[in-house]
């Protein structure tokens, strides 16, 4: 029997409680489809600093390299704010992304009709949104050298190479081929040299995908267009920092950052985590929305294990729970049934078990 191994890295703040909900849904999934996964947990971020003095302990990295997929909660807590930036919890996340070469970060932004009210935008603007943000994750300002700080000055370096741009662009076009065949590449080519190279390389890669309609947009315009007319976008391709910012903005279109799942893919490894942070002020209160984390588990089952039809049922289960009126506080309207983190996990797991089973995916 093949073993399917998942490295589980709950991290800090709300990390452990949201990861528990994803694992609850995984358990229901195992029961429903008669398969099993091997789970092994390890510390990262503040938890790594507490246990091993570093945000990415060696054992955690080794486990993550050996597993088929990594499932992560979130990192960061106020109590580490005074630490040297080089050993802050966030470094654990950046280091694991780099070490596993997770260059492609996919963040799906989809409007759920039951949640149209939760958006701060008018319903007709958000109804039907289906955007895939494809964010480059291992280059740009986050990793460029030199990186220095003195009393009077600080320096971050924005750098991109042709191969780095080529592989993320290719990924975006491949994804677009499975969707509505549109790529909008976001840059700041009127000012930045890295963006000019970005644009040239994206144009070159586009030649291999004649069926995909490519457009380019400056990042300031893109952030405005996301609010003005988000439905114009299918795949939004962009570099690391712009992608960080635009994906948070895009998530709010559909009501809450708590809905935004993500997959980070590399040539050999894959990691799945919600796009939001560790929200330490909510930790341990059983209050926050676990849906982004649960939907990250859905992406894991779909993209790492190829169980496309089966994983789609997690989406159906979520739609059912939302249709039944259950909400966490961040997406609740007047009169909604507001439930906690753990109850939302229970509801989605229960709904999954009740759905009629689909045909098995041929590639599962």
Contacting residues toward ligand IPM, per CB under 6 A: 90, 93, 244, 275, 277
Q: Which does 318 bind (CB under 5 to 8 A by kind): ligand IPM, Mg ion, none?
A: none
Q: Which does 266 bind (CB under 5 to 8 A by kind): ligand IPM, Mg ion, none?
A: none
275 versus 320: smaller Cβ distance to ligand IPM: 275
Torsion-angle region of 144 (φ positive above 0: left; ψ -120 to 50: alpha; else: beta): beta
194 versus 247: smaller Cβ distance to ligand IPM: 247
Least Å from the CB of residue 290 to ligand IPM: 17
Radius of gyration of the chain (CA): 20
**Number of Cβ atoms within 10 Å of the Cβ of 307:** 23
Signed CA dihedral, 88, 89, 95, 101: sign only: negative
Q: Which does 93 bind (CB under 5 to 8 A by kind): ligand IPM, Mg ion, none?
A: ligand IPM
Annotated catalytic residue: which of 80, 112, 142, 272? Answer: 142
114 versus 260: smaller Cβ distance to ligand IPM: 260
346 is catalytic: no
81 is catalytic: no
Strand duo 182-187 + 235-238: pairing: parallel
Least Å from the CB of residue 139 to ligand IPM: 12
Q: Which does 317 bind (CB under 5 to 8 A by kind): ligand IPM, Mg ion, none?
A: none
Q: Measure Cα distances from 151 to 34, 144, 145, 154, 155 in Å.
A: 59, 21, 19, 8, 12
Token match 């996964």: residue?
Answer: 37
Annotated catalytic residue: which of 127, 203, 220, 324? Answer: 220
28 versus 132: smaller Cβ distance to ligand IPM: 132
What residues make contact with Mg ion under the rule CB under 5 A? 244
Annotated catalytic residue: which of 12, 80, 187, 188? Answer: 188
Q: Which does 313 bind (CB under 5 to 8 A by kind): ligand IPM, Mg ion, none?
A: none
188 is catalytic: yes
326 is catalytic: no
Annotated catalytic residue: which of 248, 282, 315, 330? Answer: 248
Least Å from the CB of residue 274 to Mg ion: 10
Annotated catalytic residue: which of 244, 272, 326, 346? Answer: 244
Least Å from the CB of residue 256 to ligand IPM: 15
The rounded distance, in Å, linking the Cα atoms of 66 and 70 is: 10
218 is catalytic: no
Least Å from the CB of residue 275 to Mg ion: 6
Least Å from the CB of residue 355 to ligand IPM: 31
Q: Give me the active site residues, please.
A: 142, 188, 220, 244, 248
């Amino acid at each position: 029997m093949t073993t399917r191994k998942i490295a589980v890295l709950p991290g800090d703040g709300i990390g452990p409680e949201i990861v528990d909900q994803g694992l609850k849904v995984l358990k229901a999934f195992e029961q429903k489809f008669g398969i099993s996964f091997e789970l092994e947990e390890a510390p990262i971020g503040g938890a790594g600093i507490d246990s091993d003095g570093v945000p990415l302990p060696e054992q955690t990295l080794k486990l993550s390299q050996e597993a088929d997929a990594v499932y992560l909660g979130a990192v960061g807590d106020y109590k580490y704010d005074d630490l040297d930036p080089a050993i802050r919890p966030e470094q654990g996340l950046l280091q694991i992304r780099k070490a596993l070469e997770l260059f492609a970060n996919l963040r799906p932004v989809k409007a759920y009709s039951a949640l149209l009210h939760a958006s701060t935008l008018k319903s007709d603007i958000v109804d039907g949104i289906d955007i895939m943000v494809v964010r480059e994750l291992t280059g740009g300002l986050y990793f460029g050298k030199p990186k220095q700080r003195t009393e009077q000055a600080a320096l971050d370096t924005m750098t991109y190479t042709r191969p780095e741009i080529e592989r993320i662009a290719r990924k975006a076009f491949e994804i677009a081929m499975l969707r509505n065949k549109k790529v909008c590449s976001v840059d700041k080519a009127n000012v930045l040299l890295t963006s000019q190279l970005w644009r040239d390389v994206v144009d070159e890669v586009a030649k291999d995908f004649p069926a995909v309609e490519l457009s380019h947009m400056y990042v300031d315009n893109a952030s405005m267009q996301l609010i003005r007319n988000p439905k114009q976008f299918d795949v939004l391709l962009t570099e690391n920092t712009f992608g960080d910012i635009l994906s948070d903005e895009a998530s709010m279109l559909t009501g809450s950052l708590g809905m935004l799942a993500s997959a980070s893919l590399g040539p050999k490894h894959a990691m799945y985590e919600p796009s939001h942070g560790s929200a330490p002020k909510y930790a341990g209160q059983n209050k926050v929305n676990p849906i982004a984390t649960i939907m990250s588990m859905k992406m894991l089952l779909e993209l790492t294990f190829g169980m496309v039809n089966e994983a789609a049922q997690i989406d159906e289960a979520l739609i059912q729970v939302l249709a039944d009126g259950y909400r966490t506080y961040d997406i609740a309207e007047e009169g909604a049934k507001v439930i906690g983190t753990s109850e939302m996990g229970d509801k989605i797991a229960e709904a999954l078990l009740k759905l009629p089973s689909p045909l098995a995916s041929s590639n599962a």
